[in-house]
């Protein structure tokens, strides 16, 4: 009888804790620019349902070869993102970026316009659907690998939308992607075809879209930046060069190298540092849920 009572207590405790966890929505977000609809995962903190407050929003971008639910499905502890939403009372939005869009507006393909999609259509839909602090002061963006590039690229080009930006293991120099050994050059060209066409692009086109060459924009915008990369990551070279150029140009930023490679273990460890960084920005901006 005693064991039965303990069992029921454990069951009630489990369901009690589950009911207090962050909620995950799957939201369909149409794109007029691309004439199609993509899904986004939206994590709402537990407190959201119990209040009428407006919440700050963190946009969290996935990497190449991935899709919008990666941060929820691939991490070893699939509650990591939900726990961070609860810990900091923030909404976390994970939009679709396709496998190799680099979050750019393709110069050759109207069906791949992810800069417009993320900065205009996704942000507008999120602000219309949820109680957000729908101003720059309550909106930040970060991501891993291709998503790290995307976060820095979009924030540099649209400083009126985001209050801060981050990058984890960012692919900050896409012009070198074919020489990184992540896949064959032919396969990289094939994957990037929706963005740059079947023949690829001249080096100057890659350079024009590379975060590594956007230092002047970052300096002019003055957005707080957090950038990190694992010391065993194949992208550590471009990230060190980005850091060097930011230091040379006197652009304030938080830069960290940690043990680790281009792995989910590294990104799952990195994400809490980004959320802590952003939580401080929201506090300074008076953009916390209240």
Inter-helix orientation angle 80-88/264-284, to 10°: 10
Are 84 and 92 in contact by the 8 Å Cβ rule? The answer is: yes
Q: What is the pLDDT of residue 178?
A: 63
What are the phi and psi torsion angles at 256 (to 5°)? Answer: -140, 140
Alpha-carbon distance 229 to 261, whole Å?
Answer: 8
Please provide the distance, in angstroms rounded to a whole number, between the alpha carbons at the two ends of the chain. Answer: 46
| Dihedral sign (CA 192, 96, 126, 266) | negative
Q: What is the pLDDT of residue 13?
A: 41
Of 62, 54, 77, the closest CA to residue 126 belongs to: 54
Are 81 and 60 in contact by the 8 Å Cβ rule? The answer is: yes
b/e for 96-114, b at 16 or more Cβ within 10 A? Answer: bbbebbbbbbbeeeeebbb
Are 185 and 126 in contact by the 8 Å Cβ rule? The answer is: no
| Dihedral sign (CA 33, 71, 155, 288) | positive
Triad 120, 29, 190: Cα angle to 5° = 85
Of 38, 67, 40, 33, the closest CA to residue 129 belongs to: 40
Q: What is the pLDDT of residue 192?
A: 81
Q: What is the pLDDT of residue 206?
A: 84
Six token digits for residue 75: 């991490």
Q: What is the pLDDT of residue 193?
A: 86
Looking up tokens 């001249």 gives: 202
Q: What is the pLDDT of residue 76?
A: 67
Contacts of 149 (CB under 8 A, 6+ apart): 102, 103, 143, 167, 170, 171, 172, 174, 211
What's the pTM?
0.91
> 3-state class of 127 per DSSP?
helix
Q: Can you list the positions of beta strands (E) in 188-238?
A: 225-230
Alpha-carbon distance 214 to 224, whole Å?
Answer: 15
Q: What is the pLDDT of residue 12?
A: 40
Q: What is the pLDDT of residue 9?
A: 45
Where the chain has pLDDT below 70, the residues are: 1-20, 76-78, 177-182
What are the pLDDT digits (tens) for 126-185?
Answer: 999 999 999 999 999 999 999 999 999 999 999 999 999 999 999 999 877 666 666 777
What are the pLDDT digits (tens) for 185-205?
Answer: 777 777 788 898 877 777 788
Q: What is the pLDDT of residue 203?
A: 78
């Amino acid at each position: 009888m005693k064991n039965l009572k303990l069992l029921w207590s454990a069951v009630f405790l489990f369901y009690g804790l589950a009911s207090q966890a962050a909620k995950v929505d799957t939201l369909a977000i149409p794109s007029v620019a691309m004439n199609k609809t993509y899904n986004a995962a939206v994590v709402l903190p537990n407190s959201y349902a119990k209040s009428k407050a407006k919440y700050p929003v963190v946009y969290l971008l996935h990497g190449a070869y991935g899709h919008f639910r990666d941060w929820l499905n691939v991490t070893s502890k699939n509650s990591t993102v939900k726990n961070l939403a609860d810990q900091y009372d923030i909404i976390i939005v994970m939009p679709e970026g396709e496998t190799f869009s680099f979050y750019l507006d393709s110069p050759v393909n109207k069906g791949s316009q992810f800069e417009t999609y993320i900065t205009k259509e996704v942000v507008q839909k999120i602000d219309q659907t949820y109680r957000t602090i729908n101003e720059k002061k309550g909106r930040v963006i970060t991501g891993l690998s291709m998503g790290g590039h995307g976060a820095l690229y979009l924030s540099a080009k649209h400083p009126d939308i985001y209050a801060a930006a981050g990058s984890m293991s960012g692919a900050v120099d896409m012009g070198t992607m074919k020489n990184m050994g992540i896949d064959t050059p032919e396969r990289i060209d094939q994957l990037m075809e929706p963005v740059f066409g079947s023949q690829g692009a001249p080096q100057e086109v890659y350079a024009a879209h590379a975060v590594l060459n956007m230092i002047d924009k970052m300096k002019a915008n003055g957005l707080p930046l957090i950038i990190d990369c694992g010391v065993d990551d194949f992208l550590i070279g471009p990230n060190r060069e980005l850091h060097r150029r930011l230091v040379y140009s006197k652009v304030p930023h938080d830069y960290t190298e940690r043990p680790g490679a281009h792995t989910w273990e590294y990104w799952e460890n990195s994400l809490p540092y980004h959320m802590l960084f952003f939580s401080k920005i929201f506090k300074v901006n008076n953009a916390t849920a209240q």
